[in-house]
Amino acid sequence: MKPSAPWMMALWLALAHVPLAGAQARGDDPPGPQAVIGDPKGERIGEASLDARTQEVASLLRCPVCQGLSVADSPATMAQKMKAEVREMLAQGYDQDQILTYFERSYGEFVRLKPPLRGVNWLVWLGPVLGLLVGVMLVSFALGARRPAAQEASADEGAPDADALPDDPSLAPYVLRAREMAYGWPQGHRPQGPSKEKR
């Protein structure tokens, strides 16, 4: 379990529980699910499938204490309480959407591990794809700009003169002999006019 930055966690918890703190200060009980999201829309789940369904719904909620862990996977006390609340709501007949909405209204949209595609969340889902496309465009643009520059530089420099001989006169006969053997040039000199090199 990796804790988040302590000051961010404290601020997040303080803001998430402001309505509950006000209710407790007045002596009121915190509002239950029915006061927040209304009557259950689903069917009551029996004990046989309740544990599996609780695990499934709790895996969609982010643990407020642990970074990157779901309520189902987190060993934190708060996550265990949230999981117990999910179980109780499922047993009462609340469906998955109602449960997620209830926790979202209590903790904010951050509590969802997979936020719905609405508003700014489109950027979260499409951000990596857009970043990849922009990166590919920048790389192709950079490579395209380098290619003409390299071609111009090579044209300016010109190809090395094939008829040039080394400055050392003792090497010249060997270079001429190598050209004669490699290209079939008579006595190592390039023939005048169009000709095909022998390879």
The partner residues of 70 in beta bridges, in order of sequence, read: 62
Tens-binned pLDDT, residue by residue, of the chain (199 aa): 444 455 555 555 555 554 444 444 444 556 677 777 777 777 777 777 888 999 999 999 999 888 788 889 989 999 999 999 999 999 888 998 999 989 988 888 888 888 766 555 556 666 778 888 889 888 888 887 777 665 665 555 544 565 777 788 888 888 888 888 888 888 877 887 654 444 4
Task: Judge whether 156 lies within some domain.
Answer: no
Q: In this structure, are 23 and 113 located in the same domain?
A: yes
C-alpha to C-alpha distance for 59 and 77, rounded to whole angstroms:
16
The partner residues of 61 in beta bridges, in order of sequence, read: 112
Q: Which domain holds residue 90?
A: 6-121
- Residue 112, domain CATH: 1.10.8.640
Count of the separate structural domains present in the chain: 2
Task: Judge whether 89 lies within some domain.
Answer: yes
Q: In this structure, are 31 and 105 located in the same domain?
A: yes
Q: Final residue of a domain: which of 121, 140, 169?
A: 121
The whole-model pTM stands at: 0.46
Q: In this structure, are 100 and 38 located in the same domain?
A: yes
Note whether 91 and 50 are within 8 A (CB).
Answer: yes
Query: What confidence score (pLDDT) does residue 85 get?
Result: 92
- 3-class secondary-structure state, position 27: coil
